[in-house]
Amino acid sequence: MSAFVIDAFEFCRSNGHRDGVTPVAEMSRLNKECADQSGEIAWSIDGATSKHGYPQMTLSVSGTVQLICQRCLTPFSYEIDSSTVLMLGTDDASADEIEEVIDDESIDVIVGSRTCDIRDLLEDEALLALPQAPKHEVCPDTSLLDTLKAEKPSPFAGLKTLSKE
């Protein structure tokens, strides 16, 4: 069994803890969203039991990835720093029941597994931390954007003179 595959319920019951650093290059879904495969994601995962008695895991991810600015189309460094709490249900029905009981939008309820690959959960958290439309605060080079915005004569400008004839 992989070092990343855990029994999520036992991990929570025993207040388990794991942490590490994973290169972006090893996170196939995350690296598809990045300008390149450089960077690393530091992560930690802690198991516990909630005040309601449900198994829960706290996932934290942080690191720097390279994204493409949607304004100037150049790469830039983006800092990921995210944490979330996941409560575990044994099946869909129990997950729905837990959501009703806790009534807390900040906590995600998922169906747990006895063979849970925490790499998937950590990569999900890193992906959710990315902006939908990544942009520099201030683009360093706007020449490409300026070129695109430059006034070009309308292709219909010549029609104006035709209608007067």
Measured distance CA(129)–CA(125) in Å, rounded = 6
Per-residue confidence (pLDDT) for residue 141, from 0 to 100: 66
Residues 14 and 47 sit within 8 Å (Cβ to Cβ): yes
Q: Which two structure tokens, joined as six digits, stand for 117?
A: 């690959």
Per-residue confidence (pLDDT) for residue 6, from 0 to 100: 92
The alpha carbon of residue 10 and the mean position of all alpha carbons in its chain are separated, in whole angstroms, by 26
Beta bridge partners of 80: 63
Residues 118 and 4 sit within 8 Å (Cβ to Cβ): yes
Per-residue confidence (pLDDT) for residue 125, from 0 to 100: 94
Per-residue confidence (pLDDT) for residue 21, from 0 to 100: 95
Q: Which two structure tokens, joined as six digits, stand for 131?
A: 């902006």
Per-residue confidence (pLDDT) for residue 100, from 0 to 100: 87
pLDDT < 70: residue spans in the chain: 1-2, 141-155, 157-158, 160-165
Q: Which two structure tokens, joined as six digits, stand for 120?
A: 């998937």
E runs forming strands in the chain: 5-6, 17-23, 40-49, 55-68, 75-89, 107-111, 116-117
CA atoms in the 13 A half-sphere facing the CB of 59: 20
The alpha carbon of residue 115 and the mean position of all alpha carbons in its chain are separated, in whole angstroms, by 23
